[in-house]
């Protein structure tokens, strides 16, 4: 496909300093089809982003233009390049590069289209979400020019933003350094539209960056850190330090006096925020408010993304956008991943979903534990998450913060107390809601307790409660309602066997133990012996089935060697069917290089009765020969014209049914039935998944596979269901989490 495009860049021989340095960019379609091109970070966007390398007398000139966060693109973010057409753009380089010194400049154009859509047929798609993008990098082209010494150098957009700041009429949120977090100041204040969301996003970004730095500091070994590997690739001592320092640099920058401009002049349809290197302002665009408060692609993640750009000692780039592309970058080029802003925001967001906080043992015999904006309900007897969880905090905990809980404790008075930053709420267990008049400041109502943050809390069997923060703890006398004299004390030396810092959750169980959590591990503390019990710490993911299984599969294939193969992103794992486990816990290999001829990622796959496996991606498919273990010659081919009646642009999941000679293909909330004998889709399809697949998710599946036990297994996100082929419905008790029930599969977190 790269050969279908001709890229060129032209410059005048000379320019005067102080005048626009306008370069001409050309892109021609030499191919035999039209293309839809995502314009992000390319000359087609009409702005000079960091797709240029500018050198003066062999010295690199740093980029000083806008640095942007984005959400999924819409049709307006693409341009159509028709057969034989040439798009010409003229852009002023001085908007984003400071051309201060006279002399010779070399400009190299580096174009990577994040998504390229071939236009096929009348129903051609016009845009795609980021997880479906299929990018293309063109060969670089260069040009040179001389800058004459006359005139005064032009200010870049970054220089103007740093010098001028927001406009006088801008709607601004200014946060001063070294003060309480903003949420502590907002009670009983009526805020203008949009301000509360920005305050909360800033607040959560600070909290989760703090947690990320603490986790990076506290992990005993980098190689057993699956979260780090997911977003920054293979271990390297220097890279690990770089990542940690960039996290810390971003957080330190946010502790200055900073501004959020809520009415910026330069917002594209899919731009959520933007800033400049060295700026104390992040500009908040309307698309920011369409993001969820927590989770992935969140408002607080966008805030963390932008401040990593602004911080001069961090200086991240926008190499790729989105979770799939960032995850793939960590595998293919860890050094670039350590420079890419979305890898940092993805790390922080993923941690927020996996860090368990505020566990509380409720009077109904259940344990509740929080993770970001969600919560789990655990059955203490089985130590399993109850079916149907996690659920969102709002509206299930009336009046409680809906996006983050730091600590929680159940008091003997029928109340539970929840803490976040410098505030707390009192939750009435009988009426199942927060009492009126909350939140309140901790400092005024908990004598002697830290007033700005609590990391974990637990009520002991001695009439005391213990509160943890960093490497210290306090003992609180419940009857006297104050901290005992002599506190705080260090954790180390006073809690035998316990980590010396970083406790993020604590709960008293009904088995004589208290369980304390840090990162992906937990310990059982023997209350009677007053020490950590033997054989701890242990991994949460392996021992608390259902907790933070943030999985997701792309394809599942039953093979003829006793293994099933599961694919996610650019990796795959082999699953031993007889042993019911992953072939090797470390056996997660890249698809590229191990599946000859196959793409590095797939959308779905299905084994066929002819000894072949068909893999689908976007509008194409390949035929894999099981006997030779490679893609057959002549592939990939377009789906259109080769699979009569089937969707031509995307297949989410596919399964070969063992009883009727049919294959079933799924996309979104629909499915099609394909007759293998006649080689075409049966009449009357597509149909909605519901009600024709009883018990299956009605809005789509990620992958499916038929086992040899009369069951089919379907996967979606971190969950799966077991479908009884004879009864034609999902078995009772499903969905269940992938992580604890498919040992070693993606979705397992330890």
- Provide the b/e sequence for 665-689 (b: ≥16 CB within 10 Å): bbbeeebbbbbeeeeebeeeebeeb
pLDDT by residue (tens digit) across 157-175?
999 999 876 677 778 888 8
Q: How many CB atoms lie within 10 A of CB 347?
A: 27
Total-model pTM: 0.74
* Helix, strand, coil content of the chain in percent (nearest 5): 20, 35, 50
In 3D space, the residue among 609, 743, 615 whose CA is nearest the CA of residue 676 turns out to be 609
Question: Are 158 and 75 contacting, i.e. CB atoms less than 8 angstroms apart?
Answer: no
From CA 606, how far away is CA 595, in angstroms rounded?
A: 15
From CA 308, how far away is CA 686, in angstroms rounded?
A: 46
Question: Are 105 and 17 contacting, i.e. CB atoms less than 8 angstroms apart?
Answer: no
Residue 674 structure tokens: 């394909």
Query: In this predicted structure, what is the pLDDT of residue 129?
Result: 85
From CA 394, how far away is CA 180, in angstroms rounded?
A: 25
pLDDT by residue (tens digit) across 266-280?
898 899 999 999 999
Q: How many CB atoms lie within 10 A of CB 97?
A: 26
DSSP-H helix ranges across 425-497: 442-445
Query: In this predicted structure, what is the pLDDT of residue 120?
Result: 78
pLDDT by residue (tens digit) across 429-453?
999 999 999 999 999 999 999 998 9
Domains of the chain: 2-155 (2.60.40.2970), 165-344 (3.40.390.10), 355-541 (2.110.10.10), 555-741 (2.110.10.10)
Query: In this predicted structure, what is the pLDDT of residue 739?
Result: 62
Query: In this predicted structure, what is the pLDDT of residue 186?
Result: 47
Q: How many Cα atoms occupy the beta-carbon half-sphere of 204 within 13 Å?
A: 31
Ramachandran sector of residue 684 (left: φ over 0; alpha: ψ -120 to 50; beta: rest): left
Most confident of 109-123, 138-152, 544-558: 138-152
Most confident of 131-135, 377-381, 707-711: 377-381
Residue 742 structure tokens: 């498919």
> Is residue 182 helix, strand or coil?
helix
pLDDT by residue (tens digit) across 443-494?
999 999 999 899 999 999 888 999 999 899 999 999 999 999 999 999 999 9
Work out the average pLDDT over 338-365. Answer: 91
C-alpha Rg value of the chain to the nearest Å: 28
**96: pLDDT confidence band, cut at 50, 70 and 90?**
very high
Query: In this predicted structure, what is the pLDDT of residue 546?
Result: 59
Q: How far is CA 450 from the centre of its chain?
A: 32
Phi, psi of 336 (to 5 degrees): -70, -35
Q: How many CB atoms lie within 10 A of CB 659?
A: 10
The answer, yes or no, to whether residue 534 has pLDDT greater than 60, is yes
Percent of the chain past pLDDT 90, that is, above it, reads: 54
Work out the average pLDDT over 131-156. Answer: 91
Query: In this predicted structure, what is the pLDDT of residue 244?
Result: 93
Question: Are 146 and 105 contacting, i.e. CB atoms less than 8 angstroms apart?
Answer: yes
From CA 703, how far away is CA 713, in angstroms rounded?
A: 8
Ramachandran sector of residue 414 (left: φ over 0; alpha: ψ -120 to 50; beta: rest): left
**580: pLDDT confidence band, cut at 50, 70 and 90?**
low
pLDDT by residue (tens digit) across 662-690?
999 999 889 999 999 999 999 999 999 99
Q: For the ranges 233-237, 342-346, 601-605, 615-619, which has the lowest average pLDDT?
A: 233-237
Query: In this predicted structure, what is the pLDDT of residue 747?
Result: 38
From CA 663, how far away is CA 609, in angstroms rounded?
A: 10
- Provide the b/e sequence for 514-544 (b: ≥16 CB within 10 Å): bbbbbbbbbbbbbbeeeebeeebbbbbbeeb
From CA 680, how far away is CA 658, in angstroms rounded?
A: 18
Task: Mention every residue, 6+ apart, whose C-beta is less than 8 A from residue 470.
Answer: 214, 455, 501, 502
Phi, psi of 169 (to 5 degrees): -90, 10
Q: For the ranges 235-244, 543-552, 610-619, which has the lowest average pLDDT?
A: 543-552
From CA 599, how far away is CA 296, in angstroms rounded?
A: 26
Instruction: Calculate the average pLDDT of the chain.
Output: 87
Phi, psi of 481 (to 5 degrees): 60, 50
Looking at residue 288, the DSSP 8-state letter turns out to be G
H, E, C per residue of 25-87 = EEEEECCCCCEEEECCCCHHHCCCCCCEEEEECCEEECECCCEEEECCCCHHHEEEECCCCEE
Residue 556 structure tokens: 């599942």
Query: Which residues, listed in sequence order, are joined to residue 96 by a DSSP beta bridge?
Result: none
From CA 406, how far away is CA 506, in angstroms rounded?
A: 11
From CA 40, how far away is CA 76, in angstroms rounded?
A: 11
Query: In this predicted structure, what is the pLDDT of residue 550?
Result: 47
Query: In this predicted structure, what is the pLDDT of residue 181?
Result: 47
Query: In this predicted structure, what is the pLDDT of residue 541?
Result: 64
Higher pLDDT, 309 or 563: 309
In 3D space, the residue among 55, 58, 7, 3 whose CA is nearest the CA of residue 33 turns out to be 3
Residue 523 structure tokens: 């310990």
Question: Are 596 and 603 contacting, i.e. CB atoms less than 8 angstroms apart?
Answer: no
Higher pLDDT, 692 or 187: 692
**178: pLDDT confidence band, cut at 50, 70 and 90?**
low
Query: In this predicted structure, what is the pLDDT of residue 70?
Result: 93
Residue 666 structure tokens: 């799924």
H, E, C per residue of 521-583 = EEEEEECCCCEECCCCCEEHHHHCCCCCCCCCCCEEEECCCCEEEEEECCEEEEEECCCCEEC
The answer, yes or no, to whether residue 611 has pLDDT greater than 60, is yes
Query: In this predicted structure, what is the pLDDT of residue 222?
Result: 43
From CA 209, how far away is CA 220, in angstroms rounded?
A: 19
Query: In this predicted structure, what is the pLDDT of residue 166?
Result: 63
Work out the average pLDDT over 707-725. Answer: 85
Looking at residue 177, the DSSP 8-state letter turns out to be T
Query: In this predicted structure, what is the pLDDT of residue 750?
Result: 26
Query: In this predicted structure, what is the pLDDT of residue 746?
Result: 44
From CA 456, how far away is CA 25, in angstroms rounded?
A: 57
Ramachandran sector of residue 151 (left: φ over 0; alpha: ψ -120 to 50; beta: rest): left
Query: In this predicted structure, what is the pLDDT of residue 624?
Result: 92
Higher pLDDT, 557 or 56: 56
Q: How far is CA 178 from the centre of its chain?
A: 29
Task: Mention every residue, 6+ apart, whose C-beta is less than 8 A from residue 741.
Answer: 545, 720
From CA 327, how far away is CA 324, in angstroms rounded?
A: 5
């Amino acid at each position: 496909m790269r050969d279908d495009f001709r890229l060129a860049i032209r410059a005048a021989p000379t320019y005067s300093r102080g005048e626009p340095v306008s370069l001409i960019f050309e892109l021609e379609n030499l191919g035999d089809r039209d293309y839809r091109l995502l314009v992000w970070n390319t000359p087609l966007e009409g702005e000079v982003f960091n797709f240029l390398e500018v050198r003066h007398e062999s010295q690199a000139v740093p980029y000083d233009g806008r640095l942007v966060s984005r959400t999924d693109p819409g049709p307006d973010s693409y341009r159509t390049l028709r057969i034989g057409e040439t798009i010409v753009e003229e852009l002023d380089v001085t908007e984003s590069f400071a051309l201060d010194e006279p002399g010779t400049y070399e400009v190299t154009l580096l174009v990577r289209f994040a998504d390229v859509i071939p236009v096929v047929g009348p129903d051609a798609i016009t845009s795609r979400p980021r997880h479906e993008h299929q990018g293309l990098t063109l060969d670089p082209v260069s040009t040179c020019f001389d800058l004459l010494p006359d005139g005064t150098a032009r200010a870049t957009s970054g220089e103007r933003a740093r010098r001028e700041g927001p406009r006088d009429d801008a709607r601004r949120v200014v946060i001063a350094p070294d003060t309480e977090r903003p949420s502590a100041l907002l009670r009983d204040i009526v805020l203008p539209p949009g301000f509360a969301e920005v305050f909360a996003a800033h607040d959560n970004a600070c909290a989760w960056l703090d947690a990320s730095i603490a986790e990076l500091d506290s992990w005993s070994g980098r190689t057993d850190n699956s979260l780090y590997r997911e977003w920054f690739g293979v271990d390297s001592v220097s890279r690990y330090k770089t990542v940690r320092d960039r996290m810390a640099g971003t957080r330190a920058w946010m502790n200055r006096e900073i501004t959020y401009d809520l009415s910026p002049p330069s917002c594209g349809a899919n731009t959520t925020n933007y800033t400049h290197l060295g700026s104390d302002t992040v500009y908040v665009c309307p698309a920011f408010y369409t993001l969820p408060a927590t989770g992935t692609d969140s408002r607080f993640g966008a805030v963390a993304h932008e401040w990593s750009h602004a911080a001069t000692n961090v200086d991240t780039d926008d190499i790729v956008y989105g979770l799939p592309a960032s995850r793939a970058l960590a595998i293919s080029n860890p050094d670039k991943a350590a420079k890419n802003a979305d890898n940092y925001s993805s790390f922080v967001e993923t941690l927020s979903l996996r860090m368990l906080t505020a566990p509380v043992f409720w009077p109904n015999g259940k344990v509740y534990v929080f993770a970001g904006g969600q919560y789990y309900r655990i059955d203490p007897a089985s130590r399993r998450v109850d079916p149907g969880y996690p659920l969102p905090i709002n509206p299930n905990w009336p009046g409680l913060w809906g996006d983050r809980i730091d600590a929680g404790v159940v008091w003997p008075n029928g109340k539970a107390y929840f803490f976040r930053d410098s505030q707390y709420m009192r939750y009435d267990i009988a009426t199942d809601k927060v009492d009126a008049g909350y939140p309140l400041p901790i400092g005024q109502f908990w004598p002697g307790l830290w007033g700005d943050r609590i990391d974990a809390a637990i009520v002991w069997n001695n009439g005391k409660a213990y509160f943890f923060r960093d490497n210290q703890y306090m003992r609180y006398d419940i009857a006297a309602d104050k901290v005992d004299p002599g506190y705080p004390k260090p954790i180390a030396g006073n809690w035998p066997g316990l980590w010396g810092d970083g406790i993020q959750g604590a709960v008293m169980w009904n088995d004589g133990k208290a369980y304390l959590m840090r990162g992906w591990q937990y310990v059982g503390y023997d209350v009677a012996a007053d020490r950590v019990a033997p054989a701890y710490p242990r991994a949460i993911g392996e021992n608390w089935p259902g907790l933070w299984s943030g999985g997701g599969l792309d394809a599942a294939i039953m093979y003829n060697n006793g293994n099933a193969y599961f694919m996610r992103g650019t990796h795959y794992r082999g699953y031993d069917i007889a042993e019911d486990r992953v072939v090797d816990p470390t056996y997660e290999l890249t698809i590229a290089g191990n599946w000859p001829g196959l793409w590095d990622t797939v959308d779905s796959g299905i084994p066929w009765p002819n000894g072949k496996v068909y893999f689908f991606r976007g509008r194409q498919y390949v035929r894999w020969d099981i006997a030779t273990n490679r893609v057959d010659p002549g592939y990939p081919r377009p789906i259109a014209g080769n699979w009569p009646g089937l969707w031509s642009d995307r297949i989410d999941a596919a399964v070969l049914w063992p009883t009727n000679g049919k294959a079933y293909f799924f996309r979104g909330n629909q499915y099609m039935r394909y007759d293998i004998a006649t080689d075409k889709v049966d009449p009357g399809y597509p149909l909605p998944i519901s009600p024709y697949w009883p018990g299956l998710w009605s809005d789509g599946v990620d992958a499916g596979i038929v086992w040899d036990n009369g069951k089919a297994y379907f996967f979606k996100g971190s969950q799966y269901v077991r479908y009884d082929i004879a009864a034609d419905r999902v078995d009772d008790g499903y969905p269940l989490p992938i992580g604890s029930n498919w040992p070693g599969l993606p979705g397992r977190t330890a």
